[in-house]
Amino acid sequence: MDRRSFLKTGIAGLALPAVGLHSAGAAEKESNRVALIGCGWYGKSVLFRHIQVAPIEVVALCDVDRLMLAETADMTAGRQASRKRPRTYADYRELLAKEDVDIVQISTPDHWHALPMIEAVKTGRDVYVEKPIGVDVVEGQAMLAAARKYRRVVQVNTQRRSTPHLVEARDKFIKTGRLGKIAMVEICCYYHMRARQNPPDTDPPEYLDWERWTGPAPMRPYNALVHPRRWRSFMEYGNGIVGDMCVHMLDTVRWMMDLGWPKHVSSSGGIFVDKESKANISDTQTATFAYPEDDLNVVWTHRSWGHPPDKDYPWAAIFYGDKGTLKTSVHRYDFIPRSGGDPEHGDALVELEKYPEDKTEKELEKHVAPAIRQHLVDFRQAIATRGRPVADIEEAHISSASCILANVACDLGRTLQWDAKMGQVVGDDEANRRLARPYRTPWVHPDPANV
């Protein structure tokens, strides 16, 4: 079965065999043995929130950076009830070969999401994976196919869907119709988050396996700009600010308004200001996600230089209705009625007294911690019922792929018409060839028809 035949048949037509070495029954009875693949900043942020909301035992950790791996093992031993130090691995395949893992958290750089996630569900594990789910559209199709084929629960860390003040804003202003007809949503990011330095390439540090870190991505010389955390400034490992930040806000809009796939995607931009940095992602870009059946455009803008138009909403989703405007961000919301009534304001929930360890945890986004906790509670409820979590892999695939299509449209300089049923761009062979990136040998790109 080739990819075209798979897309015509659809995921519902796939056979549903028994899962691999870790049975579905075992996962339903025991959902507390957790492994983390990717021990960086956000991996620890999510893992330690999981420890806060459930009686989990972190049994294993994996990372190709020995120092990061050892630090996370020590921190985890200090946080979990057993005080046991998790086993450590440099190769995720060795970790997944062990039977004592129920849940796998994948918090690697974007180019390393697809392969571990697919292998984890094949071996019967439920998965919590970072956004965007992959670096190309076909990766996402394969991840979705694998989750359905092996009947696994997969929650993606698009945690705006579990952010208390955003849930409140959705229910108070959008679900009730207080905005009236919404025909335009602006989403944006004006953070100065693009790397600006231009250090020389060097040999990788001895504690980092650069070959394995690079994995299926194109091999670049090691550069201190890349690791840790600043790999997002390179298209080889992700999809730039659109793939990193737009995916959150587009997903927020889709969730709040019950939207599916956009019909048309267009984009333009480039490196307009900061031309000296080694970073190769755009510093300026706009994208339009068109929903003609809803008479709606969702318009993204990012600019990693200059001032934001609204200092209170530098990363935001702003809903324009004929009866009012709703501004939303990770920190707050503001509802401004067009005529009559008073403006309404809400702030992000912070739970420092309930979870005092949040006060001192290094680099924790304290305003986001409650959303991660609720997201993990939702994930665990889905595991218990074998249902779909709020940020199910299919929803995240739509948001991730839409952002990837925006970058394809920007590169090609034309609007793309998306056929959601076929999983292809209509009448554009060149765009369709870009739905899957080449993988570096010996890694093999996942095939949605053969996961």
In this structure, how many other beta carbons lie within 10 angstroms of the beta carbon of residue 198? 11
Give residue 353's pLDDT. 97
Name the band, by pLDDT with cuts 50, 70 and 90, for residue 5. Answer: very low
Domain 162-197+226-364 class? alpha beta
**Range with the poorest average pLDDT among 20-24, 183-187, 362-366:** 20-24
Q: What is the C-alpha separation between 269 and 413, in angstroms, rounded?
A: 10
Give residue 229's pLDDT. 87
Residue 419 in this model has a pLDDT that exceeds 70? yes
Give the helix/strand (H/E) hosting 120: helix 114-122
Which of 61, 52, 54 shows the shortest CA–CA distance to 86?
Answer: 61
Share of the chain above pLDDT 90, in %: 92
| pLDDT tens per residue across span 231-251 | 999 999 999 999 999 999 999
414-421 mean pLDDT: 98
Give residue 24's pLDDT. 40
Give residue 204's pLDDT. 97
Task: Please give the residue that has the higher pLDDT: either 241 or 228.
Answer: 241
φ, ψ of residue 429 to 5 degrees: the values are -65, -40
Which of 325, 314, 318 shows the shortest CA–CA distance to 299?
Answer: 318
86-111 mean pLDDT: 97
**Nearby residues of 138 by Cβ (< 8 Å), 6 or more positions away:** 3, 435, 436, 445, 446, 447, 448
Whether the model pTM is above 0.75: yes
Give long-range contacts, CB 8 A cutoff, 24+ apart: 377-382. Answer: 377/53, 378/155, 378/162, 379/126, 379/128, 379/153, 379/155, 380/31, 380/53, 380/54, 382/153, 382/155
| pLDDT tens per residue across span 13-56 | 333 333 344 444 443 445 799 999 999 999 999 999 999 999 99
Buried b (16+ CB within 10 A) or exposed e, 278-310: bbebbbbbbbbbbbeebebbbbbbbbbeeeeee
Residue 363 in this model has a pLDDT that exceeds 60? yes
Task: Please give the residue that has the higher pLDDT: either 1 or 391.
Answer: 391
Residue 85 in this model has a pLDDT that exceeds 90? yes
217-235 mean pLDDT: 95
252-279 mean pLDDT: 97
In which residue are the tokens 């953070």 written?
191
Q: Do domains 3-11+21-160+371-390 and 162-197+226-364 have the same CATH topology?
A: no
Residue 376 in this model has a pLDDT that exceeds 90? yes
297-319 mean pLDDT: 98
Task: Give the DSSP letter string of 152-203.
Answer: --EEES-GGGG-HHHHHHIIIIITTTTT-SEEEEEEEE----S----PPP-P
Cα angle 322-326-329, degrees, rounded to a multiple of 5: 155
Bridge pairing between strands 344-347 and 416-419 = unpaired
Give residue 350's pLDDT. 97
**Range with the poorest average pLDDT among 191-200, 250-259, 322-331, 399-408:** 191-200
CATH superfamily of 3-11+21-160+371-390: NAD(P)-binding Rossmann-like Domain (3.40.50.720)
Give residue 337's pLDDT. 97
Q: Where are the domains positioned within the chain?
A: 3-11+21-160+371-390, 162-197+226-364
Name the band, by pLDDT with cuts 50, 70 and 90, for residue 161. Answer: very high
Give residue 30's pLDDT. 55
176-184 mean pLDDT: 97
> Average pLDDT over the chain, rounded to whole?
93
